[in-house]
C-alpha cells in the first residue's frame, strides 16, 4: 500500500508540474519495491522505473539517469513477464539512443548504443 501511495503521489505531483516532489515520491516507491524482496512488486517496480525514466527525460533531459532507470525497468518487466512495461521501457531507451545519435557528439551515441 505504501508503494502505491508514493507512486500515486508522485504522478499527482508530476501532473501539477512539481518535478522535485514527484521524484521524491517515486524514488521512495522504488526503494520500497527494491528492498521488499517480494515478487508481487516486480510488476509495480517495472512501471515505476519506466515512469521515472520518462520523468527524467521530460523534466530534465537527463539521459544517463533515465537510461539507468529504464534498464532496471526492463529487468523487472522481463522477470515478471510484463510485455507492456518491457515494450514501453525499450521504446524510451530507443528514444534516448535517437536523441544521442542526433546530437553532434557521436561518441555519446556509441556509448548509449552499447548500453542497449
Which residue pairs from 79-84 have beta carbons closer than 8 angstroms and sit at least 24 positions apart in sequence? 79/42, 80/39, 80/42, 80/43, 80/46, 82/42, 82/43, 82/46
Query: Looking only at Cα atoms, what is the longest distance across the chain?
Result: 45
Show the low-confidence residues of the chain (pLDDT under 50): none
> Global pTM?
0.65
Q: Given this model, what pLDDT does residue 26 score?
A: 80
Domain residue extents for the chain: 2-115
- Quick: pLDDT tens for 53-76: 887 787 666 778 788 888 888 888
Which CATH code is given to the segment(s) 2-115? 1.25.40.10
Amino acid at each position: 500500500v505504501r508503494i502505491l501511495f508514493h507512486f500515486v503521489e508522485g504522478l499527482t505531483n508530476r501532473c501539477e508540474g512539481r518535478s522535485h516532489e514527484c521524484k521524491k515520491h517515486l524514488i521512495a516507491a522504488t526503494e520500497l519495491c527494491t528492498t521488499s524482496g517480494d515478487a508481487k512488486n516486480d510488476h509495480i517496480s517495472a512501471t515505476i522505473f519506466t515512469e521515472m525514466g520518462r520523468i527524467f527525460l521530460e523534466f530534465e533531459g537527463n539521459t544517463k539517469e533515465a537510461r539507468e532507470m529504464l534498464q532496471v525497468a526492463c529487468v523487472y518487466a522481463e522477470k515478471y513477464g510484463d510485455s507492456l512495461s518491457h515494450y514501453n521501457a525499450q521504446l524510451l531507451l530507443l528514444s534516448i539512443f535517437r536523441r544521442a545519435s542526433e546530437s553532434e557528439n557521436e561518441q555519446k551515441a556509441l556509448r548509449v548504443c552499447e548500453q542497449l
